[in-house]
Structure 1
Amino acid sequence: MSWNDPKSLWWQHAVCYQVYVRSFADSDGDGVGDLAGITARLPHLRDLGVDALWITPFYTSPQKDHGYDVADYTDVDPLFGTLADADALIARAHELDLRVIVDVVPNHTSDQHAWFRAALAAGPGSPERARYHFRDVDPAAPDVPPNNWESVFGGPAWTKVPDARGDQWYLHLFDATQPDLDWRNPEVADLFDDVLRFWLDRGVDGFRVDVAHGLHKEVNLRDQVRDAGEPAEDTRLIDRRHHDEPMWDQPEVHDVYRRWRRVLDAASTPGRERIAVAEAWTRTPESMAAFVRRDELHQAFNFAWLMAPWSAVAFAEVVTHSLAAVEPVGALPTWVLSNHDVDRHVSRYGGGERGLARARAATLTMLALPGSAYLYQGEELGLEQVDVAPEHRQDPVWFRTGEVGRDGCRVPVPWGGTEPPFEFGPGEGQPWIPQPAEWKALTVEAQLGDEGSTLSFYRRALAARRAHADPAGDDLEVVSSADDVLVLRRGPLTVVVNCSDRSVALPAGTVVAASSPVAGGSLPPDSAAWLV
């Protein structure tokens, strides 16, 4: 097959492991993860069997949103290391046959970015302010924002300029320290062309695009029309409540990604394709598929799988609709169950032994599907959501709204030992978010060599994917979802997922992977199995 045949491209069927940089591994004992810590732990990812890692932002940042507030897109924050550390990480990953995807944050900058500081200094009407969305204060209603948009993190999406004049507002769809860029200004597009090329020149294999459905807003920044009874605030992108969204998923965003595709293609060579994956919280699989047309981005996160309840019918609908949506654009879907913005799926499925059993079954099912899969650090250990004490919460959602926020899925990874910090770093105290003492049974060290552990299960499942799912072709048939038992067929591979509360008989064949012990041709509840 030629290198531009979609079925020959590495990313079409890759398993990518998300590293939340603050919480993966700490090399210097300050309690916060860093680039050197990631580099030291890369053999864990090689042994796990993944193909790539995606690293959350490590750029210069005041850390108001833990790196998603970028002050300099072409340097490393001292908290995480240096550019030399980034180069060493990329080089070591490539030695281990791991691709490296880095986060890019194009919707907004930090309020400490040189552009925003210049905008505040320059004043209304200046070219510097034209890079962002500034609007005049109405003297007749000085406390009324320019429109009724709400921040994803809660509260108004507008803040007055923090100076004595106070004569303008600026737009921030996230925290007030994250002003939105105006992508109708050509300087913005030029900046990000340079950012992409900077990291491509340093050897990265691709980008995860934060808030890819943002960037462009309707040009007049009109009020959002809300149906009767709709809440004012929409504080979670996963929970889209409004039908009218002048701030999201505008047609012009696709022009941005056509431009980016040209940059990525120019940096690609046969066998070394550079890619981008969109974090696009769209309403339908069809609108998600628009981001992966042949001249745009390579992948888009398919959050429908993550959002589905534990149900054979729900899983069947997600699989059917996801594959149908991307088929007209010649793409394959992605699949994901957890990330740094949502509760861990062990907890979403009920927690405890039952939640873990369901999480393993859902993971095994996901790994059987055509397309690529994204794993989130710690899920291979069976980690659950942590109820972080209020005094340790650091998510801006908590500070803006009083809602718990996302800290519970960001607790640092336990590597070894019998008490915190579980070899997260060389320090002796708790890391930046404290780890539960009961995690001593879930460390990498504790699970290695235990054939019944979740870590061993993930290693077997990823090996089985390479041996049985990847060679099976991309045609998938949903055979049945009756009686809360899902049956899928992909070439010679049959997948059975028992979402019911009783054991069910397996079809004829040899079991090559299972999420729970299978005996006597019977599949227990909350389990999945592959047969050939």
Structure 2
Amino acid sequence: MSEVIWWKRGVIYQIYPRSYQDSNGDGIGDLNGIASRLDYLAGLGVDAIWISPFYPSPMADFGYDISDYCDVDPIFGTLQDFDRLVERAHGLGLKVILDFVPNHSSDQHPWFRESRSSRSNPKRDWYIWRDPAPDGGLPNNWVSNFGGSAWEFDASTGQYYYHAFLKEQPDLNWRNPEVREAMHEALRFWMRYGVDGFRVDVMWHLMKDEAFRDDPPNPGYREGWPDVQRVLQVNSADRPEVHEVVRGLRRVLDEFPDRVLIGEIYLPIERLVTYYGEDLSGAHLPFNFQLINAQWNAPTLASLIAEYEAALPPGGWPNWVLGNHDQKRIAARVGEEQARVAGMLLLTLRGTPTMYYGDELGIGAVTIPPDAVQDPWEKNEPGLGFNRDPQRTPMQWCPGEQAGFSSTKPWLPLSDHFREANVETLSKDPRSILSLYRALIAFRVQRPALRLGDLRLLPCGERVLAYERRLGDDRITVALNLSSEGQVVELSSRESHRVILSTYLDRQTEVATATVTLRPNEGIIIAA
């Protein structure tokens, strides 16, 4: 097992740094705060932490608008703080993955300031500039992912620049070899600090149509959908040329041993898997978000698992994501009871699982009063349900003041249930959701079939999702009741089966033969 590279056998845990732990009393989490909680993460059993952006930034999009790719914003600390964090993490056996945001910079980045200073500036071509249309209007119909046109007029030079997100986030021109080399060198900078890999933000956006053709209208668009879905982004994103760019990123990571390249890619499965690249020369793990948007029922989940497994290229390693900083928390999507079942699903499917901080506490929907809204997408398209603040609220450490996150008012409100759903309280309860996550992760370590084994879906009717994991003689079965009613599951043979783990954290060592009964909202792991 130890011969298998860490990103295949391990569990990744995402940290949103503004919200994990505040060490200096300003209400915002920071690197020293993360470092102070590494013992918790090692005890949880995860293998790697992925930290969302902490680079210098005006914070128009809370760090996804970067003004320096090779430093730390004072809000989060210093490079020395980061160096100590990496050293301590590695000392505890934890790998460190960083968010890398190469599609766009901040409009305050020195590169863009030079680029917009004149049409003849050497860095003009580092960004995407276009003349107005013949009628004086927009260069084309491309839409910002945060709503409205993706083009912003610069009066001083008489051209538009392109921004796939906020106007404060101009897109870099990845057709320019100087841009590529500058971004490659940023990757090397962090790997020299000991960083073990990168999650590349909006990887599928890195190349745009060279002729800047319009995106076709989306015939399925419905009122109330995000503005960007008015068009099909076939020219403004997911261009065939992007795969050469991804190969370039991969080559840089391959200069250093045992690094991992992860891609954020919101695309259908048949397009997602192309980002593994020819002969697996692309991303090691193109993020698989199918669980995030799926209808939560057994037939749908079984179908998407089968479709994903079938679409993987030979040798491509699968991965699964249940939640992140852009999506509603799993407990908010499927409810408190099914959140436990979802945790068992995530940690028993074939491939690398990525957890999102706080999901192990069962944090659900958090109410954000209008005067506390921070998310720029919500401010651009208010009232349509796109606010990402509820999934970015502070980590809940204890039932005391500010949930142990800070000594002052946090930058976002806490959950109303933080006095019950926190690390200190849940750690004392042997049947809590936190105890379940710890047990599941520990069980993954013990059973080679869970980390590296094959997966075979089992027929179990309309309300139970079941599958077998097998590696050599190690064989287990997972059965998940996705309904609020009890279900009887027929086992594959007449031999005795032992219940190893239930989402209720009881009935261990129970023996079943021909059938096993699942209680409402219960998942179990059984072995012959």
Q: Fold conserved (TM > 0.5)?
A: yes
CA distance in 1, matches of 2:234, 2:255: 34
Deviations 1:475-514 (A, max 9, x none): 1111114132112011211010112342123535111121
Structure 1 residues 433 and 104: CA distance shift in structure 2, 3 A: same
Residues 302-381 of structure 1 aligned to structure 2 (within 5 Å): 302-326=288-312, 328-349=313-334, 355-381=335-361
| Separation (CA, whole Å) in 1 of partners of 2:327 and 2:166 | 18
Could you tell me which residue of structure 1 aligns to residue 49 of structure 2?
53
Aligned 8 A contact 1:13 1:372 in 2: yes
On the 8 A contact 1:472/1:490 being kept in 2, the answer is no
Q: Deviations over 1:380-403 (max 9, x none)?
A: 110012121111111111221214
Which residue in the other structure is 1:489 paired with? Answer: 468
Q: Following superposition of structure 1 onto structure 2, how do residues 398-437 of structure 1 map, counting pairs within 5 Å?
A: 398-403=378-383, 404=385, 405-419=387-401, 421-425=402-406, 427=407, 429-437=408-416
Task: Find the aligned partners of 2:435 and 2:77 in 1 and give their Cα distance.
Answer: 32
Unaligned runs of 5+ residues in structure 1 are: 350-354
Equivalent residue, structure 1, for 2:521: 526
Give the Å deviation of 1:125: 4.8
**Quick one: structure 1 residues 221 and 125, their matched pair in 2 at CA, closer, same or farther if it must change by over 3 Å?**
farther
Q: Determine helix, strand or coil for the equivalent of 1:60.
A: coil
The C-alpha deviation readout for 1:154-205, integer Å capped at 9, x for no partner, is 11111111x4x36111110100100011111111101111001000000000
Question: Aligned to 1:77, which of 73, 77, 85?
Answer: 73
Paired letter, 1:309: Q
Offset of residue 370 of structure 1: 1.3
User: Does the aligned pair in 2 maintain the 1:151–1:233 contact within 8 Å?
Assistant: no
Query: Matches of 2:10 and 2:61 in 1, distance apart?
Result: 29
Worse-matched range after superposition: 511-520 or 432-441: 511-520
Paired residues for 1:179-258 under 5 Å: 179-228=170-219, 230=221, 235=226, 242-243=231-232, 245-258=234-247
Identify if the C-alpha distance between structure 1 residues 480 and 82 changes in structure 2 by more than 3 Å, giving closer, same or farther: same
Aligned residues: 507
Unmatched runs of 5 consecutive residues or more in structure 2: 511-515
Deviation at 1:469, TM superposition (A): 5.5
TM-score by length of 2: 0.92
Corresponding residue of 2:499:
511
* Counterpart code for 1:394: Q
Partner of 2:513: none
The correspondence for 2:141, drawn from 134, 142, 148, is 148
State the Cα distance separating 1:439 from its structure 2 match: 1.1
Rounded Cα–Cα distance in structure 2 between residues aligned with 1:406 and 1:98: 28
Indicate if the aligned counterparts of 1:13 and 1:470 stay in contact, CA closer than 8 A. Answer: no
5 Å matches for 1:384-403? 384-403=364-383
Give 1:225 shift: 0.8
Tell me, in whole angstroms, the C-alpha distance in 2 between the residues paired with 1:310 and 1:471.
23
Q: Which residue of 2 aligns with 1:175?
A: 166
- What's the secondary structure of 2:429's corresponding residue? coil
| Cα deviations by residue, 1:384-426 (Å, 9 ceiling, x for unpaired) | 121211111111112212145100100011111334x11102x
Query: Considering only aligned residues, what root-mean-square deviation do their CA atoms show, in Å?
Result: 2.0
> Match of 1:258, as an amino acid?
R
Aligned-residue sequence identity (percent) comes to 40
TM-score by length of 1: 0.91
Q: Distance in 1 between matches of 2:119 and 2:249?
A: 31
- What SS class does the counterpart of residue 510 from structure 1 fall into? strand
Aligned pairs for 1:435-450 (under 5 A) are 435-450=414-429
Aligned partner of 2:503: which letter?
S
Listed as ranges, the matches of 1:235-314 within 5 Å are 235=226, 242-243=231-232, 245-268=234-257, 273-283=258-268, 285-293=269-277, 294-314=280-300
| Contact 2:445 2:451 survives alignment (8 Å) | no
Alpha-carbon contact 2:9-2:452 (below 8 Å) kept: no
